[in-house]
Amino acid sequence: MRTAMRAWDVVVVGAGPAGSIAAHELAKRGVHTLLLEKFRLPRDKPCGGAVMYRGLRIVHRVPRRLVQRPVHGLRFVMPDGSSAQFRSEQLIGITTNRAEFDEYLAYRAVDGGAELLEDARVISVEVRPDRVVTRLSDGREFSSSFVIGADGVNTVVGPSVGLRPSRKNLYRVGLGMESDFHVGEERVLEASGGDPTILEIRPVENRVSYGWVFPKREHLAIGIAGAAVHMQPLRSLFDGFVAHLEREFGFPLVIERRRTHFLGADGVRNKNVTGRVILVGDAAGFVDPMMGEGIAYAMQSGLFAARVMTEALERGRYDEAFLSRYDRLCRDRFGANFSMAEWAGTRGTSFAGSVLRVAAGLRMSSDILAMLARGDIGYSDIPPVVLSRLPRELPHLIGDYVRNRLLRHRKDNA
């Protein structure tokens, strides 16, 4: 079946956070926008479902029903079993159910004026001199001035237009496995040490990757992720991680369904635009290479793409040179974060453990964590912030040092 082509300003492929934010922003700016999603919504998505505040900021108001738990802090469990916890009075994020969160964002785009087509699986995108033609698996075709590839890590749009390198390099792509554990509210509280507003990050047995225990209302989201090259054999790493938690929590964790997924990576090192096409979110590889966080980056890149495309439409510029300002915006906003995360990631969990142990002794650390999560600063701003706050911190540091020395002295003489 081939239907007559109707022309759109922008076709957005994929109704995840990146695509729906882009579609909403475009439609709000009066751009004639079609959002194509291969599944019927709500659709399942393997994900821990922690959305940092800097992502929530983009949505403005997130309905209460989507908040499984407000997030106020992070606890890092070290390879030796000790932990470092950072807690802020400020909201630093939420945990949510991705199927519900993503459905909300897609219909928010519709409310903003975009048209959504579900059960619409794109199989190819062809850039012509005067337009782009997007083809679906059922034969339908759509013509538009621009296409945004928001179709996740297994992007069809990217390779169709010659973007995204091969996924064969397992150092450059992430791999994760996760499952939900419906243990009931009481055990969610127990597992989170009585504070379900804390996200827990733990080392994985391979000592280079991380796992997580995220509290939801009635269940725990538990998973592991890391550079694909270190994640083999994935299933036994995951099962070992869960078995370890089971022993520690003292109650059974029954694996309902293991879900495996690649994670995008390497986004800022690659070109994510070509004439008439921009890649966003996981399709572009915008995932923190150490922690696997990608939702906020997906939404921010969707916003950047929508803004650049609106301007391109206004100026009648469809060329790569004009659209490449999108690459620059992403590199400026995400580049330092990803480089630092990658650098820390290659040093393994023991290195991160020793840095975090020192940080946990500093009162400013929780403030810095909140600033990072809320998007007030990036990773590269940490050193200047630390330096500017050290004078205020010094009396506490000296006090803590003297107290610890006295305690040790008393212990030695007891």
Ligand X SMILES: Cc1cc2nc3c(=O)[nH]c(=O)nc-3n(C[C@H](O)[C@H](O)[C@H](O)COP(=O)(O)OP(=O)(O)OC[C@H]3O[C@@H](n4cnc5c(N)ncnc54)[C@H](O)[C@@H]3O)c2cc1C
Positions touching ligand X (CB under 6 A) are 13-19, 36-39, 43, 45-50, 120-122, 150-152, 156, 176, 178, 223, 225, 261, 263, 281-283, 287, 292-296, 298
Of 312 and 373, CB closest to ligand X: 373
Question: Which of 288, 362 has the CB closer to ligand X?
Answer: 288
Identify which of residues 47 and 188 has a Cβ nearer to ligand X in the complex: 47
Closer to ligand X by CB, 221 or 352: give it.
Answer: 221
**Min dist. Cβ of residue 350 to ligand X (A):** 23
CB 181 to ligand X: min, Å: 14
- The answer to whether the beta carbons of residues 156 and 272 sit under 8 Å apart is no
Q: Pick the closer one to ligand X by CB: 263 or 273.
A: 263
154-158: Cβ within 8 A, 24+ apart: 154/262, 155/279, 155/282, 155/283, 156/13, 156/122, 156/123, 156/124, 156/125, 157/13, 157/122, 157/125, 157/277, 157/279, 157/283, 158/279, 158/283, 158/284
Output phi, psi for 21, to 5 deg. -65, -40
**At closest approach, how far in Å is the CB of 363 from ligand X?**
27
In whole angstroms, the minimum distance from the beta carbon of 190 to ligand X comes to: 21
**283 vs 362 by CB, closer to ligand X:** 283
Q: How far is it, in rounded angstroms, from Cα 349 to Cα 80?
A: 11
Q: How far apart are CA 231 and CA 330, in angstroms?
A: 28
Q: Phi then psi for 72, rounded to 5 degrees?
A: -120, -5
Q: Is 354 helix (H, G, I), strand (E, B) or coil?
A: helix
Helix (H) or strand (E) holding 259: strand 259-263
Query: Can you give the three-state secondary structure of 146-195, one letter per residue?
Result: EEEECCCCCCCHHHHCCCCCCCCCCCCCEEEEEEEECCCHHHHHHHCCCC
Cβ proximity to ligand X, 96 vs 145, nearer residue = 96
Least distance from ligand X to the Cβ atom of residue 41, Å:
8
The least distance separating ligand X from the CB of residue 213, rounded to whole angstroms, comes to 11
Q: How far is the CB of 302 from ligand X (least distance, A)?
A: 7
Give the pair of three-digit tokens for residue 74: 């992070």
